[in-house]
Amino acid sequence: MLQDNTYASVSVIIPGYNCSQTIGRAIRSVASQTLIPYEVIFVDDKSQDRTLEVLYELQKELGNEWLKIIQLEKNSGPSVARNAGWSLAKSDYIAFLDADDSWHPQKIEIQYQWMMNHSECVLTGHLIALNSDKNSKAVELVSNYEVLPITKRMFLLKNRFSTPTVMLKRTINLRFDSEQRFAEDYLLWLRVISKYSNVFMIRHELAYIHKAAYGQGGLSQQLWKMEKGELLTYKKLFRDHHINWFIFKLLTAFSLLKYLKRVGVMQVKREKRL
Map residue 161 onto helix, strand or coil. Answer: coil
Average pLDDT score over the chain: 91
* Cα gap 31→37, rounded to integer Å: 8
Dist CA 233 CA 252 (whole Å):
10
Residue pair 245/144 in contact by the 8 Å Cβ criterion: no
**pLDDT at 4 > cutoff 60:** no
Quote the distance between the C-alpha of residue 163 and its chain's center. 1
Task: Encode pLDDT of 232-250 as tens digits.
Answer: 999 999 999 999 999 999 9
How many contiguous H segments (helices) and E segments (strands) does the chain have?
8, 9
pLDDT of residue 219 exceeding 50: no
Residues 146-159, mean pLDDT to the nearest whole number: 96
Query: Which helix (H) or strand (E) covers residue 155, if one does?
Result: helix 152-157
Query: What does 2-33 look like in DSSP terms, one character per residue?
Result: -----EEEEEEEEEESS-TTTHHHHHHHHHT-
Contacts of 216-222 with CB under 8 Å at 24 or more apart are 218/100, 219/182, 222/182
Confidence of residue 218 (pLDDT cuts 50, 70, 90): very low
What residue ranges do the domains of the chain occupy?
Answer: 7-210, 213-274
Element (H, E) at 113: helix 107-117
pLDDT band at 133 (very low <50, low <70, confident <90, very high): low
Distance, CA of 198 to CA of 149 (rounded, Å): 7
Measured CA to CA, the distance from residue 53 to residue 198 in angstroms comes to: 41
Strands 93-96 and 101-103 come out as: unpaired
Would you say 108 and 35 are in contact if contact means Cβ atoms under 8 Å apart?
A: yes
According to the model, what pLDDT value does residue 220 have? 44
Tell me which amino acid residue 15 is: P
Instruction: Centre a 10 Å sphere on the Cβ of residue 38 and count the other Cβ atoms it contains.
Output: 17
Q: How many CB atoms lie within 10 A of CB 188?
A: 24
For the ranges 2-6, 75-79, 217-221, 258-262, the maximum mean pLDDT occurs at 75-79
Which residue type occupies 198? N
Helix, strand, coil in percent for the chain, rounding step 5: 45, 20, 35
pLDDT, tens only, 65-118: 999 999 999 999 999 999 999 999 999 999 999 999 999 999 999 999 999 999
The pLDDT value recorded for residue 2 is 45
Q: How far is CA 146 from the centre of its chain?
A: 21
- Class at the top of the CATH hierarchy for domain 7-210: alpha beta
